[in-house]
Amino acid sequence: MNSIRIRFSLMLVGSVLCVVILASAVMSQMILGLVEKDFRDGLTSRVAAFSNSITFRGNDAVFHLQPAPIEGKLLEAPTKLLQEAFQKSQANFDIFVKQTPDGQRWASIKMGPGWLSWPIREHAPPPEVWWGLAGWMVLITVGVIGVALTVAHQTTNQLKLLQSMAMSVGKDGVLPVLKEEGSIEIKATAQALNMMGASLKKAMDSKIRLVAAAGHDLRTPMTRMRLRAEFLNEREREEWLHDLDEMDHIADSAIQLVREETVGKGTEHVRLDELVGDVCAELALIKMRVTIAGLDHSSVKISPLALKRALRNLIINAATHGGGAIVSLRVHDRRAVVLIDDNGPGIPEQFLASAFEPFFRADPARRQSIPGAGLGLAIAKEIVERQGGTLEIENRQPHGLRQTLSIEIDIANVSSVAA
């Protein structure tokens, strides 16, 4: 009984049966009324007609036949019908159906020397029958439409449930574990989705492990190549070591893209202004040009390790590609907005959209002076979006780039921050 299929079937069959029974009950009441009327009116008119043709003598009745059939317009169809009926029953009577000027139909039949006439009804059903039939059809149609609309509503309700399930897929692509309750079908769907989510997570984890392992394994042959480079002449050795440095950087970034740092160990309440300050101080220590232009107090619920990595990538970009980073943090409209500005060349407008793609490098000519894998922005965007934030870049006027990281502030901790 807890199955949607059984519930729908019972509801459908029950509703259609109710509609048909109700409509047929109304129709049969109407037919009964008509039959009763026919029985009553037919009998009284016939008795009245016969009583005019009979006289009584003591206990005997004398029947007066008319010399001719009744006067009126001959009705061919009913006449033919009755003649054929008499012929079939071997009764050889002359019979005519006529209509008198007052609209009454009469049957006149020849009996011996005279004619006997009596009133008859039309042999077509009265108009009430057609009205009744139309009413019956309207009732059935309205009833079935009502049932269909109810069933459609119930069905789409179930689809809404699936839609909300699909909407609850996390930003990281991981399906949340669904409650396995409700009707049999919903339970089965939730179970199937939970199984799918588990297999997807397993597949994603193994892919992550594979990429990390590949990056890691690259290190051994690269160390061997570094050793072999020692046997080359000085000019060649420098070129080899430069290329190997770049490969090292790419391998590192590939590993970090999938490491725990990116995924995050879990979220916690963090003072964002302190975290931004720490990253700036850490980069200033390694002689990067970083200026802080004001940090509003704010608390966010994030994975601090992952967000630090994202901020580091963005500030390094401004310091290296942009020649110096100006970092500020403002709280606006329940969001903490970190702006990382620089006065460098910016990124050509036509490339802005692809800057977040892995291995994107705006200016291949700069490749030599500023080494990089082209993964920093891709990693930062991945981290920020996984934490529920947004990351955007735009060119500044007259030149430079603005990187905007925005994340919802932790309302629960606002009062403690203010205090």
Ligand X SMILES: Nc1ncnc2c1ncn2[C@@H]1O[C@H](COP(=O)(O)OP(=O)(O)OP(=O)(O)O)[C@@H](O)[C@H]1O
First to last CA, the chain: 58
Per CB under 5 A, 403 contacts Mg ion: no
Candidates 87-95, 161-169, 222-230, 345-353 — which segment interacts with ligand X by CB under 6 A? 345-353
> Of ligand X, Mg ion, none, which one does residue 347 interact with (CB within 5 to 8 Å by kind)?
ligand X
Closer of 213 and 370 to Mg ion (Cβ) = 370
CB of 377 to ligand X, least distance (A): 3
Q: Report 250-309 residues binding ligand X (CB under 6 A).
A: 253
> Of Mg ion, ligand X, none, which one does residue 69 interact with (CB within 5 to 8 Å by kind)?
none
Q: What mask of x and - would describe binding to Mg ion in positions 341 to 380, judged by CB under 5 A?
A: -----------------------------------x----
CB of 365 to ligand X, least distance (A): 10
Q: Applying CB under 6 A, which of residues 197, 304, 344, 389 lies at the interface with ligand X?
A: 344
Closer of 70 and 250 to Mg ion (Cβ) = 250
As a whole number of angstroms, the distance between CA 112 and CA 51 comes to 20
As a whole number of angstroms, the distance between CA 315 and CA 380 comes to 11
As a whole number of angstroms, the distance between CA 38 and CA 361 comes to 98
**Residue tagged 């029953």 (tokens):** 89
Residues touching ligand X, count (CB under 6 A): 24
Q: Report 363-402 residues binding ligand X (CB under 6 A).
A: 363, 372-378, 401
Q: Which helix (H) or strand (E) holds 44?
A: helix 4-52
Closest CA to 264 of 300, 216, 304, 299: 304
- Considering only CA atoms, give the Rg of the chain: 48
Per CB under 6 A, 321 contacts ligand X: yes
As a whole number of angstroms, the distance between CA 294 and CA 370 comes to 28
Q: What mask of x and - would describe binding to ligand X in positions 3 to 42, judged by CB under 6 A?
A: ----------------------------------------
As a whole number of angstroms, the distance between CA 359 and CA 372 comes to 9
Angle between helix 184-229 and 234-258 (nearest 10) = 160
Q: Report 272-331 residues binding Mg ion (CB under 5 A).
A: 317
Q: Report 193-252 residues binding Mg ion (CB under 5 A).
A: none
Angle between helix 376-386 and 234-258 (nearest 10) = 10
Closer of 190 and 347 to ligand X (Cβ) = 347
Per CB under 5 A, 389 contacts Mg ion: no
Candidates 28-36, 67-75, 262-270, 360-368 — which segment interacts with ligand X by CB under 6 A? 360-368
Angle between helix 304-320 and 376-386 (nearest 10) = 150
Beta bridge partners of 61: 56
SS3 407: strand
Per CB under 5 A, 400 contacts Mg ion: no
CB of 372 to Mg ion, least distance (A): 5
Candidates 33-41, 127-135, 337-345, 410-418 — which segment interacts with ligand X by CB under 6 A? 337-345
Residues, the chain: 419
Residue 290: φ, ψ to 5°:
-130, 130
Closest CA to 30 of 105, 139, 121, 142: 139
Closest CA to 331 of 416, 407, 419, 385: 407
> Of ligand X, Mg ion, none, which one does residue 319 interact with (CB within 5 to 8 Å by kind)?
none
Per CB under 6 A, 317 contacts ligand X: yes
Would you tell me which residues interact with ligand X (CB under 6 A)? Answer: 253, 313, 317-318, 321-322, 342, 344-347, 355, 360-363, 372-378, 401
